[in-house]
Amino acid sequence: MNCFCDCLPCNKPCRLQNTKRGRFLLAIPALLAFILVFLSTPSLHAQAALPKIEITPPASFTKGTPYYQMKFHTTSSGMPGAGGNQCTAHLELRAQPGPAGGATAKAWHMILLGMRLGEYLPFIPHQPPAHSSREDYKDYKPEKIIIKTYWGCGDTVRPGQPNVMDTSKINPKDMPDMSGFAGFTPKGRMGGGTRGGPNTVLWPNQQDSRLVPAGASLVGDHFVHGNFVPHIKFSMSSQHDIMKALHVSIQGQSQADAITVRWNKLPTSIGYHVMAIGADSSGKEIVMWTSSETSNINVSGQFIDTPQVKKHVSSKVILPADRDSCTIPKGIFAATSPPMIMVTAWGADYWASYPPRPANAPKGWKPDWSVKGQFLSTAHVMFGMPSRGAEYNTPDNRPDRGADSPRERNKPKDDVAPRVIKGILRGVF
């Protein structure tokens, strides 16, 4: 590995074990963000040229291990107003204590030309909004909604399905998790809140809210420095890079028939998952389906640690990396709005530390710093609606635009997407 300068020690990345898995809980802000994604198109934020900066000397720290977490989420959407393909990022650097003398924490990630974002990414502390949307809904009581859940790939519904829930009779914590449909929000929000505080800095932020450009790559040497952390140097390979976009095709005569979902296999994916949601015209009934062999676990659109992904593949919650299709059983969405379908692909986690973790690390061993990278790619499409990033195929794969063709017969009305979204929102709360 090439050093950035002679005064910095070279080091090689090592893999660390981490089995802790965060679970996205159903939350009002996440679903509100979902509406914003599908009903508005995020734009790239213009930014003046970044000023030149000097490399800061490595800061001293007395407790804790400086930790740098990177999350990259590639999205490809066939939903109206969703903006096509894009990549959002959430980069968070924290250490204890904060800067000496009460100074404001700041840091810079010196990046590669391949990222197409200039020479560096500026990090500043998190600034929470003055008003939280959660406060607007703190006294809101959910309506009575029936949620029917199906699962498993195949042409026909399996015995014992669906599971039926009445939202007025269950604990909110037991409701099916649909947060994955809101997991790809614009401007870097990656689900889950940041820890914040004087010892945590983020990118993107209020000063630099750019999206990651199309075609950006992380492959190569990286250098992070700041006024409250040591110098952090690591190198990334093509096995740990921003994931490619998923492109989804849907094959089916109508919603009442079995619907085959196909996608392109991604070279760095370690597993896939498919989820679909529809609602009746009243918004009082929601129908859900997942490709899992288990009814009670939904993982769509969520960052999951690699050991947990592998565990889910073994238990058939997540489809293996060699799969490129799954069929939604016949009749599940016969009486609903055109179902929204989401495909999720996970990449393997990246880990680096200095010094590298010993083979038999003693209890309590801590590196000078550690880095973790996570990678996700998702695609959304509505049945019968072709658009950028998603394709609708007639059964024989030929264009068919006649008045009685499957494409035209199942083409949703202009207000379908908002109506379905509002139905789901009402159903959850």
The pLDDT value recorded for residue 188 is: 34
pLDDT digits (tens, 9 = 90+) for 362-415: 888 889 999 999 999 999 998 886 544 433 333 333 333 333 333 444 444 444
Strand-pair category, 259-263 with 220-226 = unpaired
C-alpha triplet 38, 417, 188: angle, nearest 5°? 15
Distance CA 320, CA 272 (A): 6
Contact criterion met (CB below 8 Å) for 292 and 317? yes
Contact criterion met (CB below 8 Å) for 13 and 350? yes
The pLDDT value recorded for residue 423 is: 44
Number of Cβ atoms within 10 Å of the Cβ of 152: 20
Q: Could you tell me which residues are beta bridge partners of residue 319?
A: 272
Nearest to 290, CA basis, from 428, 429, 145, 154: 154
Domain boundaries, the chain: 35-40+58-126+141-356+367-428
Low-confidence ranges of the chain (pLDDT < 50): 1-46, 81-82, 183-193, 387-429
The pLDDT value recorded for residue 361 is: 86
Distance CA 312, CA 310 (A): 5
pLDDT digits (tens, 9 = 90+) for 60-106: 665 568 999 999 999 987 655 445 578 899 999 998 777 877 788 99
The pLDDT value recorded for residue 126 is: 81
Axis-axis angle for helices 28-39, 416-428 (nearest 10): 180
Which H or E run contains 308? helix 306-314
Q: Which pTM value belongs to this model?
A: 0.77
